[in-house]
Amino acid sequence: MTINSGATASRRAFLQVGAGVMLSSALPLEPARAAAAGYRLRTMPAHASLAGPQHPQTAVWAYDGKVPGPLLRARQGEPMRIVVENRLDEATTVHWHGIRLPFAMDGVPGLTQAPIAPGESFVYEFTPPDAGTFWYHPHADSLRQLGRGLAGALIVEERRAVEVDRDLLWVLADWRLRPDAQVAGGFGNRMEAAMAGRVGNTVTLNGAVSDAEPVRAGERVRLRLVNASLARIMALRFEKHRPVVVAVDGQPCDPHEPEDGRVLLGPAMRIDLMLDMQGVPGRRYRVVDDFYDRLAYRLTDLSYADRPPLHPHPFDVAPLRLPPNPLPEPDLVAAEHVELKLQGGMMGGGGHRGSHRAAWAINGHSMTGDGHAQMPPLRTLQLGRSYVLTLRNESAWWHPMHLHGHSFKLLRRNGVTVPHRQWADTVLIAPRETVDVAFVADNPGDWMVHCHVTDHQVSGMMTVLRVA
Ligand code: C2O
Ligand code: CU
């Protein structure tokens, strides 16, 4: 999905368009922008060609009938308004994952709003303070609604365009398809819930299995990766390329190459890469996901056009660093500490069982489901105060832990300082690992903290922090 528009296309891209080189067909397709970004999204049953033309279409649930849902774009600091109309026959909500927005707009059923009943609508209005790559998904019946296709990307543009040749978005999603290409049932399998969650068998890139993505030698691409999977963790390797991470969960970081050249992406996480296309014209290079032992697969190929490099010499001019977002810097000296122990699962510590469906717990308590009224907060945080949150994984499984309403600074992993000044809203925690993050509790509300392996969330790895 090419997401260049007049607003984000770089000066360099403009020059090329002017010269009639690349993007000349992409640009005019962008509709003119209204003053405030206004959208209407309909949740509905639909069909999508996920597995390719040689397979039947898959029955899905989708925003506006599209998988992934329409790309929503906003500008940093400018209001946006999204009318969500529910055409499913069950209730839904939309959570704007990673956007620091008012509590009433957070999309958690029971907690922040009444669920949107079939045939009804809800108007979401907020002003994104941060530029970056975000996404939206339901927060009701999450396993089935997300697992059947309800997810989309939300891009908040920087005030000043970032200089790249192309701005690309890969929404990655994992599906469990039967041989007839239909979504397998069995959501909420208890055995799975207590292990890695519902990991599927088909990974799509922007809504379809991808054989190749076209690139051109010499171009610099900003590649926005979104992992919209229920449970699949990804570790992407770009054969013979050196991606540079410039943002994590939408928040700019010090540009750096990922450890071992693997871009690690837990469910709900986003990574923005700068990728200089230094391959040979006419050749193909594999993009491989090798997160799970012995289950590596080829996600796609970067397929080079058989044309001379776009730029005569490599990229030494444009800075890689993205402009900073207005994040409140936590005061680590005055910060109060909150510890969350992540417990349960097969072979995990504890064995806490809060209710019948519970397989997981936080600090001995299992909050199950997707959100509901009267969820008692685990702690009340003081508005404006800094907190260090220690996430202690006492289990034998990975957990991408997400905090609503805030972004946090990654401080330490097992006591070792996290480099490159990274902020996030979802942090992937390895088995037995302890991660410290810090944030200013500057957004009043009852904010969820949960694992984004959806099976883990709905079976107890969820809690609420009140900011008041
Ligand atoms: Cu994507 Cu409660 O989160
Ligand atoms: Cu988890």
- The confidence score (pLDDT) of residue 294 equals 86
Give whole-number Cα distances, 327 to 129, 226, 324, 422, in Å: 9, 21, 8, 12
- % of the chain at pLDDT higher than 70: 88
Does 25 have pLDDT greater than 70?
no
Q: Which residues touch 103 (CB under 8 Å, ≥6 apart)?
A: 112, 405, 443, 444, 445, 446, 447
- The confidence score (pLDDT) of residue 21 equals 32
For ligand 1, whether the C-beta of 95 sits within 6 Å is yes
For ligand 1, whether the C-beta of 402 sits within 6 Å is yes
For ligand 1, whether the C-beta of 456 sits within 6 Å is no
Taking the CA of residue 404 as reference, the ligand 1 atom at the shortest distance is 2
For ligand 1, whether the C-beta of 448 sits within 6 Å is yes
For ligand 1, whether the C-beta of 154 sits within 6 Å is no
Confidence of residue 311 (pLDDT cuts 50, 70, 90): confident
For ligand 1, whether the C-beta of 435 sits within 6 Å is no
Q: Give the distance (Å) from ligand 1 centre to CA of residue 105.
A: 13
In degrees, rounded to 5, the angle at the alpha carbon of residue 444 between the alpha carbons of residues 108 and 433 is 70
Ligand lying nearest the CA atom of residue 343 = 2
Q: Which of 3-12, 241-250, 322-331, 333-342 has the lowest mean pLDDT?
A: 3-12
Q: Give the distance (Å) from ligand 1 centre to CA of residue 253.
A: 22
Does 276 have pLDDT greater than 90?
yes
Query: How many other C-beta atoms can be found within 10 angstroms of the C-beta atom of residue 365?
Result: 15
pLDDT one-digit tens code per residue, 146-180: 999 999 999 999 999 999 999 999 999 999 999 99
Taking the CA of residue 137 as reference, the ligand 1 atom at the shortest distance is 1
Confidence of residue 19 (pLDDT cuts 50, 70, 90): very low
For ligand 1, whether the C-beta of 464 sits within 6 Å is no
Taking the CA of residue 457 as reference, the ligand 1 atom at the shortest distance is 2
25: left (phi over 0), alpha (psi -120 to 50) or beta: alpha
Ligand lying nearest the CA atom of residue 146 = 1
Q: Give the residue whose CA is nearest to atom 3 of ligand 1.
A: 97
- The confidence score (pLDDT) of residue 376 equals 87
Ligand lying nearest the CA atom of residue 150 = 1
Q: Give the distance (Å) from ligand 1 centre to CA of residue 174.
A: 17
Distance between CA atoms of residues 359 and 195, nearest Å = 9
Does 347 have pLDDT greater than 50?
no
Does 350 have pLDDT greater than 80?
no
For ligand 1, whether the C-beta of 409 sits within 6 Å is no
* CB hemisphere CA count around 145 (13 angstroms): 26
Mean pLDDT of 121-131: 98
| Whether the Cβ atoms of residue 158 and residue 252 lie closer than 8 Å to each other | no
Q: Give the distance (Å) from ligand 2 centre to CA of residue 459.
A: 10
- The confidence score (pLDDT) of residue 15 equals 28
Ligand lying nearest the CA atom of residue 448 = 1
- The confidence score (pLDDT) of residue 1 equals 52
- The confidence score (pLDDT) of residue 16 equals 30
- The confidence score (pLDDT) of residue 315 equals 61
Taking the CA of residue 371 as reference, the ligand 1 atom at the shortest distance is 2
Q: Give the distance (Å) from ligand 1 centre to CA of residue 402.
A: 7
Mean pLDDT of 43-65: 97
Does 4 have pLDDT greater than 50?
no
Q: What are phi and psi of 149, to 5 degrees?
A: 125, -5
DSSP 103-143: GGGS--BTTTB--B-TT-EEEEEE---S-EEEEEE--SSHH
More confident of the two residues 138 and 370: 138
Q: Give the residue whose CA is nearest to atom 1 of ligand 1.
A: 97
Does 353 have pLDDT greater than 70?
no
For ligand 1, whether the C-beta of 151 sits within 6 Å is no
Distance between CA atoms of residues 367 and 280, nearest Å = 52
The mean pLDDT value of the chain amounts to 90
Give whole-number Cα distances, 142 to 88, 92, 450, in Å: 14, 9, 13
Mean pLDDT of 346-360: 55
Confidence of residue 249 (pLDDT cuts 50, 70, 90): very high
Taking the CA of residue 97 as reference, the ligand 1 atom at the shortest distance is 1
Distance between CA atoms of residues 279 and 272, nearest Å = 20
pLDDT one-digit tens code per residue, 88-103: 999 999 999 999 999 9
Taking the CA of residue 450 as reference, the ligand 1 atom at the shortest distance is 2
More confident of the two residues 171 and 23: 171
pLDDT one-digit tens code per residue, 401-445: 999 999 999 999 999 999 999 999 999 999 999 999 999 999 999
- For residue 296, give both structure tokens: 């590596």
> In this structure, are strands 37-48 and 58-63 parallel, antiparallel, or unpaired?
antiparallel
Residues making up the chain, counted from first to last: 468
Ligand lying nearest the CA atom of residue 97 = 1
Q: Which of 1-10, 93-102, 182-191 has the lowest mean pLDDT?
A: 1-10
- The confidence score (pLDDT) of residue 374 equals 75
Q: What is this structure's pTM? A: 0.91
Distance between CA atoms of residues 339 and 404, nearest Å = 17
For ligand 1, whether the C-beta of 341 sits within 6 Å is no
Pick the closest to residue 106 from 116, 97, 114, 117 (CA basis): 97
pLDDT one-digit tens code per residue, 198-228: 999 999 999 999 999 999 999 999 999 999 9
Q: Which residues touch 428 (CB under 8 Å, ≥6 apart)?
A: 233, 264, 266, 269, 398, 399, 400
Q: Give the distance (Å) from ligand 1 centre to CA of residue 94.
A: 9
In degrees, rounded to 5, the angle at the alpha carbon of residue 45 between the alpha carbons of residues 43 and 49 is 115
Does 309 have pLDDT greater than 50?
yes
330 burial level (CB within 10 Å; 0-12, 13-18, 19+): buried
For ligand 1, whether the C-beta of 450 sits within 6 Å is yes
pLDDT one-digit tens code per residue, 322-336: 999 999 999 999 999
Q: Give the distance (Å) from ligand 2 centre to CA of residue 456.
A: 5
For ligand 1, whether the C-beta of 268 sits within 6 Å is yes
Taking the CA of residue 268 as reference, the ligand 1 atom at the shortest distance is 1
- The confidence score (pLDDT) of residue 356 equals 39
Confidence of residue 352 (pLDDT cuts 50, 70, 90): very low
Positive or negative, the CA dihedral 114, 118, 123, 127 is: positive
Does 58 have pLDDT greater than 50?
yes
For ligand 1, whether the C-beta of 451 sits within 6 Å is no
